[in-house]
Amino acid sequence: MGTINEKAATRAKEKGSNFDTYSGGSRDARREGEGYGTEQKRDDRTHSERASVLTLGKSITGGMLRQLIADYRDQLAAKKEEINKLENQIRQANDEAEKLQSRIQEFEALQSQLEQQIEENE
């Protein structure tokens, strides 16, 4: 039978873990070079790569928002133009409807006159 560390290493390998074991305990192989045990590598956040990533993210997001705003303004302008065209069409249709109504009244008056003449001639 093996030691506790050997058993832990076997279980870790069976599960596909990236942990190495050694007599001093276990450490994550991916973190090698960042520090051992309780010792931690500290980032200077003011000069870290993360700050530039956040700045880049903000500029990308800001650019995307500016583009979205511009796109929606264009769509709004197109809809307003469409509304104006439709309003013009409505005005024209109303004008035509008024002309048709006027013609109907003229024909009704003419019909009435013809009926009167027919009655008078009979």
Print the domain residue range for 11.
1-36
For the stretch 23-55, pLDDT in tens is 454 444 444 444 445 555 555 555 555 556 566
For the stretch 9-19, pLDDT in tens is 555 555 554 44
Instruction: Give how many domains the chain has, as a whole number.
Output: 1
Residues 65, 53: contact at Cβ < 8 Å? no
Tell me which DSSP letter residue 21 carries. E
Do the domain assignments include residue 100?
no
Q: Residue-wise over 31-56: b if at least 16 C-beta within 10 A, else e? A: eeeeeeeeeeeeeeeeeeeeeeeeee
* Report field, pTM of the whole predicted structure over 0.85: no
Do the domain assignments include residue 116?
no
Question: In which element (H, E) is residue 20 found?
Answer: strand 19-22
For the stretch 66-91, pLDDT in tens is 999 999 999 999 999 999 999 999 99
Do the domain assignments include residue 6?
yes
Do the domain assignments include residue 16?
yes
Do the domain assignments include residue 52?
no
Q: What is the pLDDT of residue 30?
A: 47
In angstroms, how far is CA 62 from the centroid of its own chain? 14
Question: In which element (H, E) is residue 9 found?
Answer: helix 4-15
Do the domain assignments include residue 29?
yes
Do the domain assignments include residue 2?
yes
